[in-house]
């Protein structure tokens, strides 16, 4: 992947070990990965519209993942990034349909390895 | 006191005495015959035979009339209550001496059960005040007739079940009230059972979900139903719904205690799996055969732990009526291949090889990929555990005559004892002989059964001790269930797999 084609990934993850693993794997797969550890900073970064893909945890300090998604969903300004929820939280049925409307994907972190995450991101089509 | 037994005892004495008299009569005749030596034996046989026949016929008549006398009075009581007091007379219990106790107990019950029939046609035709109270009561009430149709629905019920009270009257209750139950004995199953076997019965269900016509859950709560055959001329069943949506709904944005516990368990597993992968990548070339095998075992164990956590979560979902399947059209061979690809690492770490034998030309099936993955993972993990020295596991799929697709997971290990076999799908059931030697929770097969049955399929096991076991399950052909409102607009654009979902518009497609 050349510098100009390099996809930018924002990883909003407060668990340091996980963000370290994801950053290592994604950078190795050719992505330019930025990590932020809280929801408020995460939302600001998403709104800067500088990313192609956003990985967003649901349980975050400052602002939860659901709150970020709702803010983005209700906002007039749409971001171009594909938003993938990466979480270990099992969402109940009533939230599942809401999540499906607001995010482009939902991945349970414990079920995949960082390399598998990179493989999934490789298959995501960007505008 | 058991009046029926008492009646049987009395009848037994009557029959015994009758037989004794009959036998005495025969002996008496035989004794008398000694005085008629000049009469030919043929004539004696004809005379005595006729007398014995006549005597026994009369005795049988007496016995039958005595024994069936209670039955006649029960019939008279039933006729009396069903035709009304003017059409026939009530039974006179003084006219019977055999089984009188049984009758004096039984007949009042018949009148008690039928007492509603002599009231107004419907118990709902009450005074104006009561009717208003019923209608405006902040508790959902539904009254059902003996055709399983809604006879009456109050204001709260009409609101909760999202159905106008005037439009729903006379409609089938099971179609009109869209209730989802956490247990196998649904309201419909219970009512069927009651109508066949019970006179009165009461049952409570917890965690019942009410859905709208789009299938979305609108309310959650408890249902209490009361059945009484003699509640009214047509009325048989009343049903109350206690709205507990707030209690049952997720207390903090869908995060239940179980979800939190699972979250906390999954986080270290994610990290463990991540760093194991780092080791595999960084040290891959430098490890010798033995070390590679250790690494594989470590990786397989971490993956197994992930499955275990998923099993716990899924069982909790089943118990809370939260296991919802999103059936979608899938190519079965792709579903199986993707799952086996992932699970095979666990088999290989235990030096087992999975042989795949999927027939070509299988129709598309209606399945929830995430759930089917759980089923295959559990069956294969089970086969790995119980394979013993055998290193082969065979996974096969074929088309059945009814259009469903059957998949079997076969191992050639120790097999399962016949007495154990019928319990293997029960929750927490584990074979006592193997539980010390083989790890497990007893949740996996229970989960498989629940998931497959929720798909409309069935699961079975066949086993012979010392020769291995075969677990099989069916999933339904997509076309066969397509008419049942499969998926919604939302789900059509989503690809689900074992680890979550990605919207199709976000995926590359060739």
> Which residues in chain B are classed under CATH 3.30.565.10?
324-506
- Residue of B410, B415, B447, B408 whose CA lies nearest to B434: B415
Is A105 domain-assigned? Answer: yes
For position B508, what pLDDT does the model report?
42
Whether pLDDT at B489 is above 60:
no
C-alpha distance from A44 to closest chain B C-alpha (Å): 23
C-alpha distance from B458 to closest chain A C-alpha (Å): 25
Q: Could you please state the CATH topology (level 3) that the domain comprising B128-248 is classified under.
A: Beta-Lactamase (3.30.450)
Q: What is the ipTM of this complex?
A: 0.90
How many A×B Cβ pairs under 8 Å? Answer: 123
The dihedral through the CA atoms of B303, B304, B306, B307 has a sign that is positive
- pLDDT tens for A83-96 read 999 999 887 766 77
Would you list the DSSP string of B168-237?
Answer: HTTSBHHHHS-EE-SSSS-HHHHHHHHHHH-SEEEEEEEEEEEE-TTS-EEEEEEEEEEEETTSSSSEEE
Is A2 domain-assigned? Answer: no
Which residue range forms the structural domain that includes residue A51?
8-122
Nearest CA in chain A to B273: A113
How far lies B472's CA from each of B129, B366, B467, B480, in Å?
60, 17, 16, 20
- pLDDT tens for B74-91 read 888 887 776 555 556 777
Q: Which residues from chain A sit within 8 angstroms of residue B216, using beta carbons?
A: 97
Q: Which residues from chain A sit within 8 angstroms of residue B497, using beta carbons?
A: none
For the domain that residue A44 is a member of, what is the CATH number? 3.40.50.2300
Beta bridge partners of residue B149, listed in sequence order: B172
Paired sense of beta strands B235-243 and A8-12, if any: unpaired
Is A58 domain-assigned? Answer: yes
Is A3 domain-assigned? Answer: no
Contact B259 A106 (CB under 8 A): no
Whether pLDDT at B496 is above 50:
yes
Whether B271 and chain A come into contact, CB under 8 Å, resolves to yes
Average of per-residue pLDDT values in chain B? 80
Count of structural domains within chain A: 1
- Strand boundaries in chain A, DSSP class E: 8-12, 32-36, 53-56, 82-87, 105-108
- Rounded percentage of chain B residues whose pLDDT exceeds 70: 83
For position B120, what pLDDT does the model report?
46
- Residue of B247, B476, B507, B223 whose CA lies nearest to B372: B476
C-alpha distance from A101 to closest chain B C-alpha (Å): 8
Q: What is the CATH code of the structural domain delimited by B324-506?
A: 3.30.565.10
- pLDDT tens for B349-365 read 888 899 999 998 899 99
- pLDDT tens for B1-29 read 678 888 888 889 888 988 888 888 888 88
């Amino acid at each position: 992947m050349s510098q100009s084609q390099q996809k930018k990934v924002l990883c909003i993850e407060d668990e340091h070990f996980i963000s370290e693993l994801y950053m290592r794997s994604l950078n190795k797969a050719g992505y330019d990965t930025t990590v932020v550890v809280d929801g408020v900073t995460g939302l600001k970064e998403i709104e800067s519209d500088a990313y192609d893909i956003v990985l967003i945890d649901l349980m975050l300090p400052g602002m939860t993942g659901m709150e970020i998604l709702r803010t983005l969903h209700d906002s007039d300004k749409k971001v171009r990034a594909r938003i993938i929820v990466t979480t270990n939280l099992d969402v109940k049925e009533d939230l599942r349909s809401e999540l499906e409307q607001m995010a482009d994907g939902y991945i349970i972190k414990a079920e995949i390895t960082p390399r598998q995450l990179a493989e999934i991101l490789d298959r995501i089509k960007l505008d | 006191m058991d009046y029926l037994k008492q009646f049987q005892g009395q009848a037994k004495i009557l029959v015994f005495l009758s037989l004794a008299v009959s036998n005495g009569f025969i002996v008496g005749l035989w004794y008398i015959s000694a005085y008629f030596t000049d009469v030919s034996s043929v004539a004696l046989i004809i005379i005595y035979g006729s007398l014995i026949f006549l005597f026994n016929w009369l005795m049988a008549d007496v016995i039958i009339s005595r024994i069936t006398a209670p039955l006649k009075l029960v019939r008279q009581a039933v006729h009396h209550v069903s035709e009304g007091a003017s059409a026939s007379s009530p039974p006179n219990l003084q006219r019977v001496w055999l089984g009188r106790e049984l009758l004096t107990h039984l007949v009042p019950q018949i009148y008690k059960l039928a007492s509603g029939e002599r009231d107004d046609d419907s118990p709902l035709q009450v005074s104006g005040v009561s009717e208003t109270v019923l209608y405006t009561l902040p508790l959902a009430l539904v009254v059902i007739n003996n055709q399983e149709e809604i006879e009456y629905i109050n204001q709260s019920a009409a609101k909760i079940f999202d159905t106008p009270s005037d439009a729903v009257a006379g409609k089938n209750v099971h179609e009109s009230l869209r209730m989802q139950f956490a247990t196998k004995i649904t309201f419909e199953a219970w009512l069927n059972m009651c109508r066949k076997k019970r006179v009165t019965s009461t049952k409570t269900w917890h965690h019942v979900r009410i859905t709208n016509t789009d299938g979305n859950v609108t309310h959650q709560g408890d249902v209490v139903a009361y059945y009484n055959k003699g509640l009214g001329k047509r009325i048989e069943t009343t049903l109350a719904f206690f709205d507990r949506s707030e209690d049952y709904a997720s207390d903090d944005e869908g995060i239940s205690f179980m979800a939190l516990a699972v979250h906390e368990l999954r986080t270290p597993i994610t990290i463990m799996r991540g760093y194991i992968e780092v080791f595999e990548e960084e040290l891959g070339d430098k490890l010798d055969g033995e070390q590679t095998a250790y690494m594989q075992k470590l990786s397989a164990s971490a993956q197994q732990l992930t499955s275990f956590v998923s099993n716990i979560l899924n069982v909790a979902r089943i118990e809370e009526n939260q296991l919802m399947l999103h059936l979608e059209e899938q190519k079965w061979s792709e579903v199986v291949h993707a799952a086996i690809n992932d699970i095979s690492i666990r088999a290989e770490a235990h030096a087992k090889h999975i042989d795949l034998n999927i027939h070509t030309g299988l129709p598309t099936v209606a399945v929830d990929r995430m759930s089917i993955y759980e089923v295959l993972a559990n069956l294969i993990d089970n086969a790995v555990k119980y394979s013993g020295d055998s290193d082969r596991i065979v996974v096969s799929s074929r088309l059945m005559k009814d259009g469903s697709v059957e998949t079997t997971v076969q191992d050639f290990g120790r097999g399962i004892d016949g007495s154990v076999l019928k319990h293997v799908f029960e929750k927490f059931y584990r074979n006592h002989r193997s539980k010390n030697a083989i790890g497990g929770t007893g949740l996996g097969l229970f989960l498989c059964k629940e998931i497959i049955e929720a798909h409309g399929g069935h699961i079975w096991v066949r086993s012979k001790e010392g020769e291995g076991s075969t677990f099989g399950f069916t999933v339904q052909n997509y076309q066969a269930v397509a008419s049942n409102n499969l998926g919604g607009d939302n789900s059509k654009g989503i690809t689900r797999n074992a680890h979550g979902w990605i919207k199709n518009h976000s995926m590359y497609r060739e």
